[in-house]
């Protein structure tokens, strides 16, 4: 949008995490993943599965935010 000033009302940069959170709210019941005839996930289910995976990584491998491996 030419001539528009970027502010919180009209511009928010998306990270993968903020995209997932926003999609889970805005498109809650819409399909996010379709694989074959038996795998269908909504955006809410995809977000919940990602949160569970992140929790499992923390509990099992003690991986936390900003951890890096060399």
What is the per-residue pLDDT for 55?
92
Give the DSSP H/E element, type plus range, for residue 23: helix 16-26
3-state SS string for 39-64 = EEEEHHHHHHHHHHHHHHHHHHHCCC
What is the per-residue pLDDT for 30?
97
What is the per-residue pLDDT for 10?
73
Where are the domains positioned within the chain? 16-61
**Can you give the pLDDT of all 70 residues of the chain as single tens digits?**
566 787 777 777 788 999 999 999 999 999 999 999 999 999 999 999 999 998 998 999 888 888 887 6
């Amino acid at each position: 949008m030419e001539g528009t000033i970027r502010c919180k009302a009209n511009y928010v940069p998306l990270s993968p995490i903020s995209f997932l959170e926003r999609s889970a709210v805005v498109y809650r019941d819409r399909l996010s993943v379709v694989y074959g005839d038996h795998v269908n996930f909504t955006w809410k289910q995809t977000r919940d599965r990602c949160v569970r995976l992140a929790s499992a990584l923390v509990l099992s491998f003690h991986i936390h935010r900003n951890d890096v491996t060399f």
